[in-house]
Homo-oligomer: A and B are copies of this chain.
Amino acid sequence: MSLFYPKKDISVQTIRRLPQYLRIFYNLHGYGRELVSSTTIAQEMHLLPIVVKKDLQAVGAPSKLRAGFKVAGTIAVIEKFLGWNNLNKAFLVGVGHLGAALLGFAGFKNHGLEIVAAFDTAADKVGKSVHGVPVYHTAQLSSIIAQENLKIAILAVPAGAAQGITDTLLSAGIAAIWNFAPIHLQVPAHVIVQQEDISAGLAELCAKLKSK
* A contact set with B: CB distance below 8 Å: 1, 4-7, 10, 12-13, 15-20, 23, 44-47, 81-84, 88, 96-98, 100-102, 104-105, 107-108, 111-113, 152, 175-176, 178, 182, 184, 192, 194, 196-212
Interface contact A16-B192, CB-CB below 8 Å: no
**CB nearest neighbor in B for A199:** B19
Interface contact A196-B203, CB-CB below 8 Å: no
Across-interface contacts of A100 in B (CB, < 8 A)? 97
Across-interface contacts of A98 in B (CB, < 8 A)? 97-98, 101
Interface contact A208-B4, CB-CB below 8 Å: yes
Interface contact A198-B105, CB-CB below 8 Å: yes
Q: How far is the CA of A7 from the CA of B207 in the complex (A)?
A: 10
Q: How far is the CA of A23 from the CA of B202 in the complex (A)?
A: 14
Interface contact B17-A200, CB-CB below 8 Å: yes
Across-interface contacts of A201 in B (CB, < 8 A)? 16, 178, 194, 196
- Max chain B C-beta neighbours (<10 A), residue from A19, A194, A199, A212: A199
In the complex, the 7 A-B pairs of residues with the closest C-beta atoms, listed nearest first: A97-B101, A19-B199, A194-B205, A16-B200, A98-B101, A97-B100, A82-B206
Q: How far is the CA of A178 from the CA of B206 in the complex (A)?
A: 10
Distance to closest chain B CB from A59 (angstroms): 10
Distance to closest chain B CB from A210 (angstroms): 5
Q: How far is the CA of A206 from the CA of B112 in the complex (A)?
A: 9
Interface contact A204-B44, CB-CB below 8 Å: no
Interface contact A20-B197, CB-CB below 8 Å: yes
Distance to closest chain B CB from A46 (angstroms): 7
Distance to closest chain B CB from A103 (angstroms): 8
Distance to closest chain B CB from A49 (angstroms): 13
Q: Which residue from B5, B12, B113, B184 sits with its C-beta under 8 Å from A46?
A: B184
Q: Which residue from B15, B46, B184 sits with its C-beta under 8 Å from A45?
A: B184
